[in-house]
Amino acid sequence: MKVNGLFSAFAVILLLSLVIGIASAADVLKIDGQRSYVTNLATGEERQTYAEFLHSDQFEGDELEFHIYIDKTGVPIPDNYVLEMRTNLEKPRDWKFGDDISHTASKIVWSGKDEHAYPFPSPIVLTGVVPEPIRQVKEPGFEKYNIDGIGKNEVYAELTVGTSRDGATLETIQQKLSPSMVFYSTDRGIQDAERAINDSLGAGRAKVGATTRMEEDITGLYEGGHPGWASKLAEDYKALTSTIEAPPVALYVIIAVIFGLILGSVFVYVYVSTSAGKGMDISLISSELDDTSERITEKSGSINALSTKFARSDDAEKRNMARELVRLRASLNEISNDIRTISDKIRGVVK
């Protein structure tokens, strides 16, 4: 009996511990995303909902005002729970919680059983200025140094439920209210640089015909906090690639036509050589193949004209291309002769 009593007491204590643990781990507050909104006091634009404002770009120096509506979830609230409000918005900065106004970056409120018992003083109002788009970056090869770079910087307004001993800092974190407000500071100069870089790199890519390592490095330079240098190098890259001439369109057309003629000739020979070609006018087909051979010879002459033009160029790459075109022309002459041979073989099929 004594053992059973001890076991029952232990079970009750264990059950109470589990219940308290579950209650402590449960969310006690929630943000009403439908009612919460943000207003840009600098531009006078219409208010945006929390969802619309999340992860948006905001200009340095603009003053923003957040109205954050919060509800209790109905879960029992431990007496030692508090709420921390924290932001990296710049001054002038105000946190308004009920009748309490604070100008600090972080503030602990909602402390004690009495405050927990009353309706939550919603909304929390935060006013502050978007900070400079300055952030810490890493320089390739010098990662051990912390340096500042120019680029989009993360700005936040966080609300966290936890416990505190000193009333100034959190000792434990029990719940981070979501969605956590995060957006990015920027300025028009950064946006203009991004557009200019994309335009210059796009023009260079069109000339080169592929994405180069240099293009990737310029993009990395911009993303690494150096938009000024990235923009300048992108312009230099565009100027450099503008001197590169892609192979003339006429050459592509000539080669495409020749391959079409060659494939057509092979297909005709295979078709006529089998029973599928029975009943066809072989003499007419043979004549058409002779014409095809002559057209290939004509196109070969066009390639010869291009190779002559490239051979006279001061550009070493064009002179190399001229040599390749001479070899191509020789191969085409051989193919032309082979097609004539096919024509002769087709005549032999008839005989």
| Inside any domain, residue 105 | yes
Rama region for 209: left / alpha / beta (φ>0; ψ in -120 to 50; rest): left
Q: What is the mean pLDDT of the chain?
A: 80
Is residue 156 domain-shared with residue 210, that is, in the same domain? no
| Inside any domain, residue 292 | yes
| Inside any domain, residue 342 | yes
| Inside any domain, residue 98 | yes
Does residue 154 register a pLDDT over 80? Answer: yes
Q: In sequence order, which residues have a C-beta less than 8 Å from that of residue 150 and are 6 or more positions away?
A: 133, 134, 190, 225, 226, 227, 228
Least confident segment among 67-76, 109-118, 174-183, 255-264:
255-264
Q: Which residue has the higher pLDDT, 242 or 179?
A: 179
Is residue 74 domain-shared with residue 57, that is, in the same domain? yes
Is residue 103 domain-shared with residue 165, that is, in the same domain? yes
Is residue 196 domain-shared with residue 150, that is, in the same domain? no
CA distances from 221 to 48, 194, 226, 229, 284 (A): 33, 11, 6, 8, 66
Cis? peptide before 131, omega within 30° of 0: no
Is residue 65 domain-shared with residue 169, that is, in the same domain? yes
Is residue 179 domain-shared with residue 63, that is, in the same domain? yes
| Domain residue limits at 201 | 191-241
| Inside any domain, residue 12 | no
| Inside any domain, residue 264 | yes
* pLDDT, tens digit (0-9, with 9 covering 90-100), for 54-82: 999 999 999 999 999 999 999 999 999 99
Residue with tokens 């006091």: 41
Is residue 65 domain-shared with residue 166, that is, in the same domain? yes
Q: Which 8-state DSSP code applies to residue 150?
A: E
Residue with tokens 């095809």: 292
Is residue 264 domain-shared with residue 329, that is, in the same domain? yes
pLDDT at 42: 93
The 10 Å CB-count burial string (b at 16+, else e) for 195-229 is ebbeebbebbbeebeeeeebbeebbebbebbbbee
| Inside any domain, residue 201 | yes
pTM for the model: 0.63
User: How far apart are the C-alpha atoms of 228 and 221, rounded to whole Å?
Assistant: 9
Is residue 179 domain-shared with residue 36, that is, in the same domain? yes
Is residue 254 domain-shared with residue 345, that is, in the same domain? yes
pLDDT at 275: 46
Which segment, 177-186, 238-247, 272-281, 308-317, is predicted with the most confidence on average?
Answer: 177-186
Does residue 349 register a pLDDT over 70? Answer: no
* pLDDT, tens digit (0-9, with 9 covering 90-100), for 13-39: 545 544 444 444 689 999 999 999 999
In the chain, the number of structural domains is 3
